[in-house]
Structure 1
Amino acid sequence: MKHYYQLIFLGAIDHRLLPKIKDVFFERIDELGIDRAFFKIIDRNNFGEEYTDANPAFCIYFGNKTDDKFLDEEIINKLVKDATLLLPLIDEDLSKFNNFVPEIIQKYNGLSLLGLSMELAIEKIVANALEAFNLLKSKRRAFVSYKRSDSSGVAIQLYEYLEQHNFDVFLDTHSIRKSEPFQDELWQRMIDSDVVVLLSTENYLESEWTQQELSNANLASIGLVQVVWPEYTVIRGAQLSEVFTLEASDFINNDFRNVNAKLNEDSLLKIVQFTEALRARTLASRQDKLISTFMHYAEKSNVTATLSSHKFIELEKDGEKSIVVPAIGMPKALNCEESESLIQKIYEEKGKLDKIFILYDEIHIRDIWLRHLNWLNKYLPVKTKEIGGVSKWLAN
């Protein structure tokens, strides 16, 4: 196999953490529907035989010092020279970061495991690896859906806490600029989100807007972290839903009936963990929905379309061989560049590709963005295609 991903573990490896990282990593790979055979695990023992700078690589470096020397420093120097992405981990406060990693990676953004539960630490590490391989969007987006008169305090608290954990969070009172069309922007931000955090309170379904938010999340197959208040029940009909049931003790002073009630930090950390864990599954579900719809249209139009093991669609139409890449949310110029680079590398041994397309769902994407994508199509070699127009395109 010529093209594969390399997951590298170096440094003072925590052998309590390592097997769990591998297990969760491959669980997420399975959820994304990618063959495990495309991944190699590399450490100092097999680095010389297995590693190549020709394929994507991501290194997790466990920081520590032994006799005033850093472990695997020579290999780290090689990886930095090859522009490999690295995630340094330390089990101390980040203020001590430089004491635990080689000088050459002291400018890298590291992750402190201090104060994190093992589960949350693993989710963060795995998410970083998947993002580095472009298997998850590097921009993490979450949408908080709530009833203002029930849970404004927790909604604002979650907005701030998820932001601190590197999510781009949408909250209706904080995220829409003045003069923007409120409802159009709200729906677009939801469709471009990875996960919806739904605050399931007594009166959540009494609002027309929250009902629509739940309906649109289900329609778009967006995963829901359903945070259920004490004494209330799970909202039924919420697809791809992970349920986190709150107890009175999860709230500061056990006060959960107050609109301005706040959660304690342990509960907030668990919600972040749920949100991290659900990302891969919801993105995979949305990708699968795009793929199945495209394959259905191709079959109806008698066009040859084959799903590759990389989850790209190989298309033969009018004597041309093209690749169709399903994208989640709004495609951007960077998606086009990354797709072209990756695909040309994967298919270089199979001969010339005529065209590359990025497939996306245009529902609830604002006209201003659709016009922008049409403008990009005039100038970029990689073109975008709306799923709503695929039937007509394939039939012509």
Structure 2
Amino acid sequence: MMYKYQLILLGDTKSNACKTIKVHFFDKIHSIGLKDDMFEVIYNETFHEKYSNKQPSFVFYFGCMNHSEKDTDILKVLLDNGDAIFPIYFGEIFEVEVPEIIHTMNGRQYIADHVGKYINYALEAMRLLRENRKLFISYRRTDSSAVANQLFDTFARNNYDVFLDTYSINPAKNFQEELHHRMTDCDVLIQLYTNDFKNSKWCNEEIVSANQKQIGVVEIVWPDCTPDIHNLLCKPIQLTQDMFVNKDFQNESCRFTEKCIEKVVYTVESVRARNLAARQDNLVGEFIKEAHKQGRRFMQEYRYLVETLKDGRIRLFIPAIGVPQSYDCFDSLRFRKLLNNEKLELFLIYDDLRIRKRWVEHLEWLNESLEVKTIKKKDFELWLKNN
């Protein structure tokens, strides 16, 4: 099965605003090197047939004065699954145009000049902006350095931040620790599985690490190799001689054909779509599960969880997939301005597994002075008990 990103359009889908946003959405997708067939466009009439809660989604709900409760049953399904819903209204009063079930959400009045911003909200939720599209290429120079560079160039053009392990880790660094740390921050790991690669001591370690972090693996298997696939999140591509320029695959300067490159790109996007949803669901699900054990309840918005306290304070918990950076803390401050609430408390929740110890210590040190605090997964239960 090939996984896709889901663009869901509900409410008044006959409106000019809906048509305009859809056109601009795909214009933006094309500009970052993605193709239409990586996306499933779902309307209310096709929702139950096409929708999957295992694939990343973004929902535009278009308000309407005379049909304010339209698609309520679908919205309930989406809310239960924690999907991103962005309500858009056209008149002066938000509540009279959209279903009551999403009245607590932060909608936007439609302004034609702001369509670009609306599209960026969707891309951000799907983590399709460049700073959120991270790819790790693992290979052996003796077998596949030219292919690795070819893939680096291709994915850089496709709006990815690409990491090549043997080029990007300083010789003075602890290789294994740095490898795990960098892998934690990527969406997909590409392994160029050649005869020399399978003898590398890092190969099994990378698979174990990727599996623990629910990172998708695309294993590109050379024609003369048959690997033992033992990662449930792994998608193998078995190569043939025809997939190489001049059918030459037995030296480090060999290169893929354009048709082969297209297959790799499509597979990587599919694996990314599948695992992006899985990683976020796992992180948010663990946090909510711990909260429910203690009788705490959260409202799930399209980019964060909300908790309203009895004294009027509001807490936002923002999932950070990968390695949290100090910039993520800074960037989260925009929610205070967005929601216009000075009593807002901001937290980044993250999975600290395989992140460098010194980096976790750095984040905990930042907690002492920054407005935005971080909470690591292993501390969810303790933090919720004490705060």
Regarding TM over 0.5, the answer is: yes
Partner of residue 384, structure 2: 394
Partner of residue 280, structure 1: 273
Provide the C-alpha distance between the structure 2 equivalents of 1:50 and 1:343, rounded to a whole number of angstroms. 24
Provide the C-alpha distance between the structure 1 equivalents of 2:39 and 2:158, rounded to a whole number of angstroms. 23
The CA deviation at 1:318 is: 8.6
Determine which structure has greater relative contact order: mean sequence separation of CA pairs < 8 Å that are 6+ residues apart, divided by chain length.
Answer: 2
Provide the C-alpha distance between the structure 1 equivalents of 2:55 and 2:332, rounded to a whole number of angstroms. 17
Partner of residue 352, structure 2: 362
Provide the C-alpha distance between the structure 2 equivalents of 1:154 and 1:270, rounded to a whole number of angstroms. 14
Task: Find out whether 1:142 has 2:155 as its counterpart.
Answer: no
Q: How does 1:62-101 map to 2 (within 5 A)?
A: 79=113, 82=114, 84-85=116-117
- Asked if the contact 1:305/1:313 (under 8 Å) is kept, the reply is no
The CA deviation at 1:195 is: 0.8
1:213 partner SS? helix
1:379 partner SS? coil
The CA deviation at 1:209 is: 0.6
- Asked if the contact 2:56/2:276 (under 8 Å) is kept, the reply is no
- Asked if the contact 1:251/1:264 (under 8 Å) is kept, the reply is yes
Change (3 A) 1:291 1:10: closer
CA deviations over 1:176-197 (Å, ceiling 9, x no partner): 2353333222211110011111
Change (3 A) 1:238 1:390: same
Partner of residue 362, structure 2: 372
The CA deviation at 1:340 is: 4.2
Q: How does 1:215-364 map to 2 (within 5 A)?
A: 215-233=208-226, 235-300=228-293, 302-306=294-298, 308=300, 310=302, 312-315=304-307, 321-342=314-335, 345=338, 354-364=344-354
Provide the C-alpha distance between the structure 1 equivalents of 2:353 and 2:91, rounded to a whole number of angstroms. 43
2:167 partner SS? coil
- Asked if the contact 2:140/2:197 (under 8 Å) is kept, the reply is yes
Partner of residue 155, structure 1: 148
Identical-residue share of aligned pairs (%): 31
CA deviations over 1:334-391 (Å, ceiling 9, x no partner): 4334444347746x7xx88652211011122224433432343233322111112222
CA deviations over 1:174-221 (Å, ceiling 9, x no partner): 112353333222211110011111223345443221110011011100
Partner of residue 191, structure 1: 184
- Asked if the contact 1:57/1:133 (under 8 Å) is kept, the reply is no
Provide the C-alpha distance between the structure 1 equivalents of 2:91 and 2:231, rounded to a whole number of angstroms. 44
Change (3 A) 1:33 1:271: closer
Q: How does 1:45-56 map to 2 (within 5 A)?
A: 50=90
- Asked if the contact 1:144/1:170 (under 8 Å) is kept, the reply is yes
Change (3 A) 1:380 1:209: same
Partner of residue 92, structure 1: none
1:155 partner SS? helix
2:318 partner SS? strand
The CA deviation at 1:9 is: 4.4
Change (3 A) 1:84 1:309: closer
Partner of residue 21, structure 2: 8
Report the number of matched residues.
Answer: 320
The CA deviation at 1:277 is: 3.3
User: Structure 2, unaligned stretches of length 5 or more?
Assistant: 1-9, 12-16, 43-49, 64-87, 93-105
The CA RMSD over aligned residues, in Å, is: 4.3
Provide the C-alpha distance between the structure 1 equivalents of 2:91 and 2:125, rounded to a whole number of angstroms. 16
1:243 partner SS? strand
Change (3 A) 1:337 1:25: farther
Give the AA of the match of 1:229: W
Provide the C-alpha distance between the structure 2 equivalents of 1:227 and 1:332, rounded to a whole number of angstroms. 31
Provide the C-alpha distance between the structure 2 equivalents of 1:269 and 1:329, rounded to a whole number of angstroms. 27
